[in-house]
Chain A
Amino acid sequence: MRKKNLLKAHRKPRELKKLGLTMRLSFVMVFCAVLTLSANTYSQDLRVNLDVKDVSFSKLFEEIRKQSNYSFFFNEEKLSQLENITVKKNKVTVKEVLEEVLSNTNLTYTMVDDVIVIISKKTVPRVRKIEQQSIVGTVTDFETGETLPGVTVLVKNSVLGTTTDIDGNYKISLSKNFETLVFSFLGFETKEVKIEGNTTINVELKSKTNQLDMVVVTGYQKLDKRVLTSSIERVTAKELELKNVMTVDKMLEGKVTGLQITNNSATPGAAAKVRIRGGNTFTGNQSPLWVIDGVIYEEPVLLSASEINSFDNVNVIGNALTGINPRDIESINVLKDASATAIYGIRAANGVIAVTTKRGKQGKPNFNYSYSSSIVDRPHYSDLNLMNSKDRIDVSREMYERNLGTPAGNSYENTDRIGYEGALMNYWDGTYNFQQFQDQVSSLESLNANWFGELYRPAINQSHNINVSGGSNQSRYYVSFGYDDQKSTERGVDVERLTARANLDFDLRDNVLLSFKINGSVQEGTYNHSSINMFNEAYYTSRTVPVYDSNGEYAYLSKPLVNNSRSVRDEDGNAVYGRYHVMNEMDNSKRNITNKDLGVTANLKWTFLDGFSFRSQLSYRNTTNLQEEWIKENTFHVAQLRTYDFIEDHIDENVDELASVPFGGLYSGGMVSQNSYAITNQLNYNKVLNDKHVVNFNLAQEARSIKYWGATGFTVPGYSHDNGRRFVYLPQLRTSSGSFDFESYPYDNMINWFSKGQLYPSITDRTTNSMSFFGMFNYVYDNRYVVNFNLRSDGTNSFGQFKKYRFKPTWSVSSRWNLHNEKFWNEDGNIDELALKASYGVRGTIPSASPYMTIRDFGPETGSSYFSYNENVAKLVSFPQTNLRWELNKTTNIGLSYSMFNGRVSGAFDFAYSFSDDLLLVRPVSGVNGALSQMFNAGSKDVQSYEFSIRTVNVKTKDFSWSTRFNISHDVDRVLKGFEEAIGDSSSESQDAALTISQYLNGGIFRKGFPSSGFYSYQFDGLNNKGLPTFKHLNEENATPEQQLQMMMVYEGQRLPQYYGGFGTEFRYKRFSISANLNYKLGYKTRLLNLYKGSQQLPLPYENMQSEFNNRWRQPGDELITNIPALSNDLLKINDDYATNSGSGIFPNGATLWRLYDLSDARTVKGDHIRLSSLSLSYRIPKDILENMGIASMNVGFQASNVGVWAFDSKLKGQDPDQLRNVGMPNNSTYSFSLNVGL
């Protein structure tokens, strides 16, 4: 067969280049004919010399083509039916020849420019006679609405045809007896349209990548969505459109039903908290498993389950996704039910998120560059309900007038004469006269120092990404390179990341595909030293405290030095002060966290015999986490450790007895490396029988090894940053008469500090090997009925693994009924998809306890003691836990997925019931067992999840389209069996078996009938006539702690939302598109930011307060109109005066009534809110502008993200309900610009 470009003659060469390969291919596919070549010039009168004997017609035409450059267009089948022919003629025109040779046949010809089309004779007369019709139209991409140039438009049952021009327009003239046009284009589905008298026919072609959309990737399998039996939801790259975040977890919020994302920190590099359908364990890790291209990604640093689970813990160390560039992602599949996750075995009880990266497609190199830059707004005082200077002075004035003094128990002496109090002190000792005093106060009242402005900044982020993809028919490549620079609004925080990826595919033979994926990344984060809490600093510093003094230097504060909770005092017993300014701390310290990630995967797929294929995947991944932090000697933090300020003289005795860092600064560091290897071998058999039965078997084996090793947390004093980053060593021990003179050694406390182990790192060295076998069986009958069975069994060497649970299987069964393929349901074919799915599966998690007695620190004794054994010792870690079983989870999922009207309405309903039993809980037992509590498989919970999603294409015309998507998830999470005891003693020597008060207050009560994130509050009972808070049931004579707890606390609700989801809409008008994304969370409660800092109820002169205090109780009677307590110097410590059972663990340790107030129902609010998470506008630059620049396509876009939050509870007063009480930093609005260039 020969293929030549028929169109070349009448198209400009430059345009042709763009059409490229795709056009040529499409022609080949449409016709089963030989196309012969054309030329640039032609002439009707061209003459040829022919001398052929007994040749076929095609040979003859070939001869004519050679001499004339006419192209021929014919149906070879028809031509081959003709007998051979002999022609001998000189200098005849082509017309003459053709008329002669065709005269005895049923064929004739027409000439269209330089193409000679051979057609059947009987139609010809009609063509001439029958009325002609002319049809015009535009062909566009169904997905994007963009016009498609070069689409082949053919008249069905004829050889007539044309192609669309550069703007996607076509024009075709044909006789009225033709009824149908066929539109085809490479990479798109061919579409037939009936003419039915229309003169304008606009057509949308669906991309065949749409068929890619039909593929769901689970990591081990690629499944056709149409036979999918389990609950898997797919998100494509296009939907992940947040421009200003570096990891993909944050982009998923509101996008997938059943997936709950909590972004609890705006700090770059901080990991989001991810939950699929509420989680299925109490004490284990509740996060899903992340799988990238079939490779399980591990956390770079081993964290405990409670650290990962806690919503109050921010992890900036990095998570499994740190090195993945979201722009390399093709799609994300969220595996929710047991049927979907069973093939991941014991790791997957909390769901799996499988990410697929982009791969190259056959074609010439496709280059893409994208740039985005965003600006993040800093927090403003107006967002934070804080007092201004005037309000704050008013508080001080009231404190003075009511003679409240400084807070009890605080020795702060205001040596700097800060604030109103300082001015007053100056007035009293005569430094100021009354006039000066008044001037000072009024100047303070208008000072309004801008701490947020100084410590925060609008941050500018940028990201550059380049990728090239393409390939021949034997090899394909996708190569990308990305750079991100994310600055935090917090000064000093900056994260930079480089990522690179190469995904290569080679067809070694027709039946052997070899793929390599190589990716690497380096992320370098700079943070402020961990002794600095920037948000608290800005939040709690009074605006009457200037940032700079009159010379423009830092305005330092003097604060008393306290080391190891002992106040430093001079010879006269007076407190020793150090100068403090947060910016000085910041300038002289740093924390660096670097994450490096290297991954290599090789994948071989061999197809053999009939329907067999074998796939083998070998992967290696290494992540390295490096951390260091240092702080210089000229900071307050080190001054405390040194017992004297940098510029002051020291007192030898203090240094000796109290200083842990007597000279230099402090340096600490650590590194953790994670290596994982995996090999997976899969044998697949896929057979179609009688076009009706599809059978698919998959047997696989996998071996994995993960090793963590490293040392973290070593701390060394004597750090000298400025003198070449070195350490000043300890002075040597002096000797007197041959023996060491310990008595005169000047740094006793430092030695003591060392000996407590502060100096030494802790070593991580842990290898986990696992071996798994699994099988998948799938049967489809007539594209209507599908059944699926999965089975997996794992064995691991996890330390102390229960041998009896090795290779215990997890399994699932599932089925699907494609109603749309049933004639009785879908007669008119309007329903594209309507399928019922049902699945049931059993998953398990192996207890992480050991059946053996385990010990640690075997070796010579450490630590300080007078005596020495001079032999090895070992500490008990755990008694053997021989009685434990798997945590078991059984999930049933029933789903309905639908798609109608050519995909204009689609979505899914899902109901899942997940029942978890034998959950590990710590239960009380007789102390005769050696401990008063014991792990038991005693807990159980269930979660009912209701999920609904709908996508609609509301309007769709050539120039305008409008689509929307909406989803909602509702989780009902219930504890069925939990702790037997209401309250336990959190500080008793043994690990206690019941709930602690902090679990009641912070969520995490595992009590029957309550959701597992439920929490309680104390009950505020109004202010008394002194403006002090009172609470219900604090005094209950003769009540046991349990009884009192029951009366005193009120159940608030759950911390996790019961309803959540998202809404998005997109408008496209010509080259513009606008989209908006909202997400919402409903049915949960949260606490307001604390009014009181720690146990302190009165602010120090340099401390700010919330502006809610402007409505405080000021005089008797106010208790009727306000709930904000009065200023008081009463400590209100909870003891027998205020409460019964005060020592029994039903109050937080050392709590005061002020703290109770913050933990009361007066300070809880409904968290229900809707967040406008992004608003985007993009514009496609017209091609004719780009043409001159040699650019194929260009998009510019603007996006505003985190634009606003509508919260329904008025008590929030603008506080973002997702803002954490103890982390503080709210998510701020971000404005991004993006540019996308394709060549």
Chain B
Amino acid sequence: MKRIKYILILFISLVSCQDFLEEESQDLTAVETVEHFKALMLNEFNDNYAMFKPVYHMTDDLEEITLSPRFSKANKTTFTWQQEIEIDENGNSLRGINSAWEAIYKDIAIVNYVIESIDGMEGSAEQRSFVKGEAYFIRAMSYFNLLNLYGQPFNEASKNTDLGVPIRTNTEIEITFSRESVAAGYNQIESDLMEALILIENSGVEDTKWHPSVDACNLLMSRVKLYQRKWDEVIQYADNVIDHRQLAMLGTSSPFITNGNSELIFAWHKSYTGQIDPPGSSEIAGYKVSDQLIELYELEDNRLTAFLTTFIQNGETYYMNKKHNAGFEGSTTSSVYTTMGYQNMRVAEAYLNKAEALAQKQDPIAINVIQELHAKRISDVSLIVYPTEPGDILNYVYDERRRELCFEDHHRWFDLRRMDNRPEIVHVFTDVDEEGEVLKTETYTLYSNDLNYTLPIPIKERENNPGIVNNERTDKLPVVN
């Protein structure tokens, strides 16, 4: 009845109908407050991280389990670096395999909207500044991933002409977009990160580890500089992190990634949506951790058992990734690696970035930096033999990155892409029938200077966007036995 009165009064007084026509919806919300934005980004970016899921298959960290039947070995097109990864050898389309492009741009579209409209939103100035900084951080990270998945590898000489990815920083809808240069991409990333750094720092907000912090910005900046081979700046930003944070002792008996771990800077990827390859736990999908990676670990290295675990199939023991073994806060079992999300930024990376920059500058203290890390990773450091030649030191740092960062984010694939002398990677795919009979083996090689280090632009994008130029890739034909 109140409503009727309302209408009556409204009509009789013939006042403006603005109030009556005020939008209201109780089961749907328009983004109106800073808090809404923060919650939205937490869910859309953090929860469902837009990864290129079959990324580990392309690296030398994984290899096939020879006798697994063919159907259990998914992602053959990425495992064998096919020219077109979305169509299998029978011509069937593989849905969603190359969806990272769309998913990352979706995150960018959200944060673009946040950046554009947050200034008018309800909330405290501090929170507004912090959330806006978070949006810039997410945009930087998103473009960083895009650029390293779909753009040409960084090359100082040709960065202004090498194709990167399209850059969209507003909310306009365009039917076509064309690709910017790699340099433009990095400029965007750096400027976004600087914005993030300033906004987050000025806000004074220190939120939970589910949100980026000043340290996270510095660490990501050191990574961005590293990829661009700006060694001094790498060291500068890495030191910003190292000065603030301590490494933590890696044990093997309890989860390593916990809220209380001083080494943990930023955690994300909360929901296990779809498969992060390789599968983290009990499911076995035809692939195992490569022997090459296993052999990199010294026996005293706690990381072998903290990061990897074994399983038995057909009487054989294989290693698999443990970093995606998750448990509740308070879990104590040794099979759990994380209680804070499937991806995280750790201080260890700052040490590795710094060590690599030093090694590139042929500064032997690079090994000292590695040793600082080893003190928290290896039970008896005295047994480790460290290289002394500058070239060996750099390779040792690369291996160290592999040991420390395996199966985290896109690290190994991105590291491979930016190496001066990439190793040749050989993947063998064995066709096994249901009775366990080997039909044939196919051997594929990713060469050092392979064009296939850059992913193809998704087919849908090529169909929908006439302005896009695809990456040149080569046909990968196997050597068959």
A residues near B (Cβ < 8 Å) are 618, 620, 675, 677, 679, 681, 701, 703, 705, 709, 763-767, 769-771, 795-801, 806, 850, 852-856, 858, 861, 865-877, 879-880, 882-883, 924-932, 934, 981, 985, 987-990, 993, 1136, 1140-1145
Contacts and interface: CB of A to CB of B under 8 A. Distances in A.
Contact of A990 (B28, B42, B43, B102): B102
B27 A763 contact: yes
B26 A795 contact: no
Contact of B208 (A679, A796, A871, A879): A871
Interface string B32-45: 00011011101110
A925 B168 CA distance: 14
A985 B97 CA distance: 14
B434 to A, nearest CB: 16
A703 B10 contact: yes
30 contacts: A677-B3, A766-B27, A769-B22, A771-B17, A797-B20, A799-B23, A799-B24, A850-B30, A854-B30, A866-B339, A867-B340, A869-B270, A871-B42, A875-B40, A875-B43, A876-B44, A879-B110, A926-B175, A927-B102, A927-B464, A930-B106, A932-B460, A981-B463, A985-B93, A985-B95, A988-B96, A993-B464, A1141-B91, A1142-B92, A1143-B90
A679 B29 contact: no
Interface string B48-70: 00000000000000000000000
Which of A801, A879, A1136 lies at the interface centre, i.e. has the most chain B CB atoms within 10 A of its CB? A879
B459 to A, nearest CB: 10
B25 interface: yes
Given A932-B461, A990-B102, A1143-B92, A771 B40 contact: no
Contacts of A880: 113, 171
Nearest to A794: B21
Given A797-B21, A855-B29, A928-B105, A705 B326 contact: no
Interface in B98-145: 99, 101-102, 105-106, 108-110, 113
A1064 to B, nearest CB: 45
Nearest to A773: B17
A675 B210 CA distance: 44
Contacts of A1145: 93
A692 to B, nearest CB: 37
Contact of A871 (B39, B92, B468): B39
- 4 nearest interchain CB pairs? A930-B109, A1143-B92, A765-B26, A799-B25
B341 to A, nearest CB: 6
A928 B166 CA distance: 7
Nearest to B26: A765
Contacts of B21: 769-771, 795-797, 806
Contacts of B339: 866-867
Interface of B: 3-4, 7-8, 10-11, 17, 20-31, 35-36, 38-40, 42-44, 46-47, 90-93, 95-96, 99, 101-102, 105-106, 108-110, 113, 166, 168, 171, 173-177, 208, 210, 270-272, 326-329, 339-341, 458, 460-461, 463-465, 467-468
Which of A798, A801, A874, A929 lies at the interface centre, i.e. has the most chain B CB atoms within 10 A of its CB? A929
Contacts of B24: 767, 797, 799
B359 to A, nearest CB: 36
B458 A799 contact: no
A482 B19 CA distance: 42
B177 A705 contact: no
Given A930-B105, A934-B173, A679 B11 contact: yes
A1237 B17 CA distance: 52
Contact of A677 (B4, B90, B166, B461): B4
Contacts of B177: 926, 928-929
B27 A926 contact: no
B320 to A, nearest CB: 18
A1151 B160 CA distance: 50
Nearest to A994: B463
Nearest to A863: B271
A855 B40 contact: yes
Contact of B270 (A681, A771, A867, A1140): A867
Given A679-B11, A1144-B93, A874 B23 contact: no
A769 B20 contact: yes
Contacts of B176: 926
B77 to A, nearest CB: 13
A703 B30 contact: no
Nearest to B6: A705
A676 B83 CA distance: 60
Given A765-B25, A861-B43, A875-B44, 7 more contacts: A620-B4, A679-B8, A709-B26, A767-B25, A929-B174, A1143-B93, A1144-B92
B31 A764 contact: no
A850 to B, nearest CB: 7
Contacts of A856: 27-29
A929 B92 contact: no
Contact of A858 (B36, B465, B468): B36
A576 to B, nearest CB: 25
Contacts of A867: 270, 326, 328-329, 339-341
Nearest to A1038: B91
A874 B40 contact: yes
Given A799-B24, A867-B340, A874-B29, A987 B464 contact: no
B274 to A, nearest CB: 9
A466 to B, nearest CB: 32
B385 to A, nearest CB: 39
A926 B465 contact: yes
Contact of A924 (B46, B174, B464): B464
B173 A883 contact: yes
Given A763-B27, A855-B36, A874-B29, A931 B106 contact: yes
A1136 B166 contact: no
Contacts of A1143: 90-93
Contacts of B8: 679
Which of A858, A870, A875, A985 lies at the interface centre, i.e. has the most chain B CB atoms within 10 A of its CB? A858
A681 B39 contact: no
A930 B467 CA distance: 16
B99 to A, nearest CB: 5
A879 B109 contact: yes
A858 B3 contact: no
Contacts of B46: 869
A351 to B, nearest CB: 26
Nearest to A772: B17
Contacts of B20: 703, 705, 769, 771, 797
A795 B17 CA distance: 9
Given A852-B30, A879-B109, A929-B109, A866 B328 contact: yes
Contacts of A620: 4
B181 to A, nearest CB: 16
Given A924-B463, A927-B464, A988-B96, A858 B208 contact: no
B166 A926 contact: yes
Contact of A799 (B28, B43, B44, B468): B28
A423 to B, nearest CB: 36
A764 B27 contact: yes
Nearest to B460: A932
A924 B31 CA distance: 26
A214 to B, nearest CB: 33
B27 A932 contact: no
A131 B266 CA distance: 121
Contacts of B42: 869, 871-873
A771 B22 CA distance: 11
Nearest to B107: A930
A41 B382 CA distance: 145
A932 B98 CA distance: 13
A873 B39 contact: yes
Contact of B108 (A770, A882, A930, A934): A930
Given A865-B270, A869-B270, A872-B39, A926 B28 contact: no
Contacts of A705: 3, 7, 20
Contacts of A681: 11
